[in-house]
Amino acid sequence: MSILEDAREVAAQSPVCDPCLGRVFADRSFGLTNAERGRSLRVAAALEDDEEPEEVAREDCWVCEGECARFDEWAERCVEAVEGVEFDTYQVGTRAPPLVEENEVLLREGAGLAEDAGELFKSEYNREVGKRFGRLTETEVEFGRPDVQFLLDIDADTVAVEINSTFVYGRYRKLERDIPQTEWPCNKCHGTGYLGKQPCDKCDGTGYMYQESVEGLTAPVVMDVMDGTDAKFHGAGREDVDALMLGTGRPFVIEIMEPRRRDVDVERLEGDINAFAGGKAEVEGLRLAAYDMVERVKQLNASKRYRAEVEFGDDVTEEELADALAELDGATIEQYTPNRVDHRRAALTRTREVFEATGEWADERHATVEVHGAGGLYIKELVSGDEGRTEPSLAGLLGVDAVVTALDVTGVYGVDEEFENESFFRGDPR
């Protein structure tokens, strides 16, 4: 059969509106809407038959139950649903009524066509409502991860909106010790602040092991400025609680859930965060980021540079220190899971590289050691040996006990490429 003969068979099950007629042949003649396609087929068949083309009001169609007359209405409802929300991209999804889906099957069966001929009702609804919404809001459809997503439940007559997270990238420096990177719930009361009806004696009823964190000094400001409902801090690794993070700072991303604002002044935001942190931490290089920057921050192969104040258990000469550091410079280190973290890390031996090891001798019992090493290298254990769990170690090479009394991280670098790749940012660079 020709396409006109098929169209006649479909239209003969009147009343069938132009969109429902055209939808059966949606894989033909690209560039037309289903309504245009259906009308064209109806007119072409009427011309060939020398008849007046039938006029079918969308509200009267038995296939879509009149729903194809409501594209504009649904688009306007979507606009109302995101009033006051900033966004640049969107996506529309539709939950089709079961009756309409059943009617679609019956329509094709009645015309002797395949059940899957053309496209689905919900596909047309997504497109037609989406086009209208885009025109009304001057925004773009995005099929990957849009700023806002709509689900039109036609049977329930509801519009559900999902506002996807937005992200801010930067680098932070931690300027005081005994501040963790992220909030650390109390392990005794499990973050509740109470043991039974009494305040927890371990955290003084606060629910946290430490009352401040880099997350707590930064994320609330971003959440407030972007008017979100929650925030999550993602760091490129983390330093020990008692270590400072200095130098180039550590890359991080703050994720803001359900933001009502996305396009903020990052320079002003940077100033607001630093003022709020009160000298305990500071951020720089803030940029609006794409969602895949979170994975980049967490997964990009990175090296770290450390400065450690070291105390020896016996006298060490300047020459002995220099010789030991020369042995560590460029060495491959085998580290069995350290004693201090074996309660939360898998017990295994890791191999890590020391790219550079230098030091400054202060006196027979003290020195400053600087190490540039691969990500995951445990510096405190590289110094102490951790009862033989780390080989080689500074203590082992010197033959004396050695302990880190103060540790600073002074640099975090991408090994193969820098973290700050423009393809992972939104908007223009500062």
Whether residue 397 is found in the same domain as residue 280: no
Whether the CB-CB separation of 171 and 239 falls below 8 Å is answered with: no
Q: Across-strand partners of 170?
A: 252
Question: Which pLDDT does position 184 carry in this prediction?
Answer: 86
Here the tokens at position 375 are: 């990500």
Last residue of a domain, one of 163, 188, 220: 163
Q: What is the Cα 259 distance to its own chain's centre?
A: 13
The model's pLDDT over 171-228, given as tens digits with 9 standing for 90+, comes to 999 999 999 999 888 888 988 999 888 899 888 898 888 889 999 999 999 999 999 9
Q: What is the CATH number of the domain that holds 213?
A: 3.30.70.2510
Cα separation of 136 and 200, whole Å? 54
Whichever domain contains 80, its CATH number is 3.30.2300.10
pLDDT tens, position by position, 247-296: 999 999 999 999 999 999 999 999 999 999 999 999 999 999 999 999 99
Structural domain that includes position 104: 3-163
291 is in an annotated binding site: no
Q: Please, are residues 65 and 97 in contact by the beta-carbon 8 Å criterion?
A: yes
Domain count, the chain: 3
Let me know if residue 430 belongs to a domain.
Answer: no
| Pairwise CA distance, residues 158 & 78, whole Å | 10
The residue among 290, 232, 265 whose CA lies nearest residue 420 is 290
Closest residue by Cα to residue 181 from 297, 262, 288, 336: 297
Q: How far apart are CA 194 and CA 205, in angstroms?
A: 6
Instruction: Give the burial class of 165: count Cβ atoms within 10 A of its Cβ; 0-12 exposed, 13-18 middle, 19 or more buried.
Output: buried
pLDDT digits (tens, 9 = 90+) for 89-148: 999 999 999 999 999 999 999 999 999 999 999 999 999 999 999 999 999 999 999 999
**Catalytic residue positions?**
240
210 is in an annotated binding site: no
Distance CA 412, CA 260 (A): 32
